[in-house]
């Protein structure tokens, strides 16, 4: 299959790209689209044949459910059955964080195909704030199921070129909307009465959520509620070690790369074959936004080993450390 890459820079490009995306989607085919978090591989969420092509292109196991992206707030009660006990909390979260990088796991409505929810009684929903994503989904007029546009278990794409290297030849269309803003996937919470279970850390931080409900953290599970909870995920091909406190590593400088947190005098750039700094000034937002691109660059540098430095584990740092730990976990 030939994969088209379409731009959105000028108004004329955008108009032509929106037409193309809407027509591919109406055809039951998947389209890679930018969101404010990472690029997603979108298909008509209400058509199992369309959704099955997403699983196929990603080589994603069918037990791993997809996030349903809504064209508008009105769609929420068509895809979810929200019990009265959680209605108020859901409304408050939506008013505060939508459109944006917060995914809610709610009891599903029967209209959502089993394939999308992997047979679970719940459905994950969010509304993207990315202008290109919004334009496409508004034009399409129906919910889009969209996992990150990478092959299963690999690093999520934060630029159109990353999607190309993951999925070229497997999907008909990639829409280029530039680099994504947040750089890590949305925060996922399961909403219970007065309580939020955080299934995946993301751009909406624990600190922000804590003011709305009691939080329960459940990010690494033996039998995960969300495969993003699997221990190895978001993984480069090259072996990666996270330099958590107390860890000592012997390495061969000529074949080792360093993923540094910020500028520091304690180690020297020339001691490594490749060197990337997440944020020279120590800004967690910048670190999250560039994390996956820098992991990809090191992964492509022909190294034997990547040594990653930890970042402070608060705010966005919780999501970054979660991704680093999963990238460093032994591959299954
Ligand atoms: O930022 C994002 O969320 C991106 C963009 C494209 O929207 N999407 C994304 O999708 O990261 P994906 O499929 O790569 O990760 C979604 C995670 C998976 O780990 C999946 O298991 C979990 O959400 N998930 C989906 N439905 C669920 C459900 N009903 N209950 C629990 N977890 C669910
Ligand atoms: Mg993913």
CATH number for the domain harbouring residue 255: 3.40.50.11030
Q: Is 124 in the pocket of ligand 1 (CB under 6 A)?
A: yes
| Distance between Cα 256 and ligand 1 center (Å) | 32
Residues with CB under 5 A from ligand 2 (ion): 148
| Distance between Cα 140 and ligand 2 center (Å) | 23
Q: Is 116 in the pocket of ligand 1 (CB under 6 A)?
A: no
- Domains of the chain: total: 2
Instruction: Note the pLDDT tens digit of each residue in 220-265.
Output: 443 455 555 566 677 899 999 999 999 999 999 999 999 999 998 7
Residue 230 covered by a domain: no
pLDDT at 210 exceeding the cut of 70: yes
Does residue 213 sit in the same domain as residue 244? no
Ligand 1 pocket test target in 116, 185, 192 with most atoms within 8 Å of CB: 185
> Of 183, 217, 251, which one is at a domain's C-terminal end?
217
Predicted pLDDT of residue 220: 47
Q: Is 80 in the pocket of ligand 1 (CB under 6 A)?
A: no
Does residue 18 sit in the same domain as residue 133? yes
* Average pLDDT of the chain to the nearest whole number: 94
pLDDT band at 266 (very low <50, low <70, confident <90, very high): confident
Does residue 212 sit in the same domain as residue 245? no
| Distance between Cα 268 and ligand 2 center (Å) | 34
Does residue 47 sit in the same domain as residue 149? yes
| Distance between Cα 63 and ligand 2 center (Å) | 13
Q: Is 157 in the pocket of ligand 1 (CB under 6 A)?
A: no
pLDDT at 281 exceeding the cut of 50: yes
CATH at residue 27: 3.90.870.10
Does residue 290 sit in the same domain as residue 156? no
pLDDT band at 268 (very low <50, low <70, confident <90, very high): confident
Residue 167 covered by a domain: yes
Instruction: Note the pLDDT tens digit of each residue in 95-105.
Output: 999 999 999 99
Instruction: Note the pLDDT tens digit of each residue in 32-60.
Output: 999 999 999 999 999 999 999 999 999 99
Does residue 257 sit in the same domain as residue 123? no
Residue 235 covered by a domain: no
Residue 226 covered by a domain: no
Ligand 1 pocket test target in 40, 59, 67, 69 with most atoms within 8 Å of CB: 67
| Distance between Cα 68 and ligand 1 center (Å) | 9
Q: Starting from the CA of residue 79, give the closest ligand.
A: 1
Does residue 267 sit in the same domain as residue 142? no
Q: Is the dihedral of CA 162, 254, 276, 232 positive or negative?
A: positive
| Distance between Cα 260 and ligand 1 center (Å) | 28
Q: What is the mean pLDDT of residues 289-305?
A: 97
Instruction: Note the pLDDT tens digit of each residue in 149-199.
Output: 999 999 999 999 999 999 999 999 999 999 999 999 999 999 999 899 999
Hey, whose CA ends up nearest to atom 32 of ligand 1? 226
Give percent above pLDDT 70 in the chain: 95
Hey, whose CA ends up nearest to atom 15 of ligand 1? 147
Q: Is 45 in the pocket of ligand 1 (CB under 6 A)?
A: no
Predicted pLDDT of residue 219: 58
Token reading at 131: 């202008």
Does residue 16 sit in the same domain as residue 157? yes
| Distance between Cα 229 and ligand 1 center (Å) | 10
pLDDT at 290 exceeding the cut of 90: yes
Q: Write out the residue range of the structural domain in which residue 29 sits.
A: 4-217
Q: Is 54 in the pocket of ligand 1 (CB under 6 A)?
A: no
Residue 159 covered by a domain: yes
């Amino acid at each position: 299959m030939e994969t088209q890459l379409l731009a959105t820079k000028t108004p004329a490009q955008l108009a032509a790209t929106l037409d193309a995306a809407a027509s591919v989607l109406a055809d039951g085919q998947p389209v890679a689209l930018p969101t404010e978090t990472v690029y997603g591989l979108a298909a008509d969420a209400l058509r199992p044949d369309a959704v099955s092509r997403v699983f196929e292109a990603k080589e994603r196991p069918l037990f791993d459910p997809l996030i349903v992206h809504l064209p508008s707030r009105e769609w929420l009660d068509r895809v979810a059955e929200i019990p009265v006990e959680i209605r108020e909390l859901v409304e408050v979260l939506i008013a505060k964080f939508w459109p944006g990088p917060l995914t809610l796991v709610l009891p599903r409505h029967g209209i959502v195909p089993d394939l999308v929810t992997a047979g679970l009684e719940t459905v994950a929903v969010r509304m993207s704030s990315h202008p290109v994503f919004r334009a496409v989904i508004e034009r399409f007029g129906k919910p889009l199921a969209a996992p990150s546009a990478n092959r299963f278990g690999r690093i999520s794409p934060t630029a159109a070129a990353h999607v190309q290297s993951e999925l070229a030849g497997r999907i008909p269309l990639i829409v280029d909307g530039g680099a994504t803003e947040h750089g890590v996937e949305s925060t996922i919470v399961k909403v219970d009465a007065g309580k939020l279970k955080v299934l995946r850390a993301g751009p909406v931080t624990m600190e922000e959520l804590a003011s709305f409900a009691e939080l329960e953290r459940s990010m690494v599970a033996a039998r995960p509620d969300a495969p993003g909870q699997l221990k190895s995920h978001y993984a480069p091909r090259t072996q990666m070690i996270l330099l958590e406190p107390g860890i000592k590593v012997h390495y061969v400088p000529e074949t080792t790369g360093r993923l540094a947190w910020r500028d520091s005098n304690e180690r020297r750039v020339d001691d490594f074959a490749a060197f990337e700094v997440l944020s020279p000034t120590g800004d967690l937002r910048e670190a999250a936004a560039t994390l996956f691109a820098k992991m990809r660059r090191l992964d492509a540098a022909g190294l034997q080993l990547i040594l990653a430095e930890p970042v402070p584990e608060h705010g966005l740092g919780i999501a970054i450390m979660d991704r680093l730990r999963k990238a460093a976990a032994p591959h299954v």
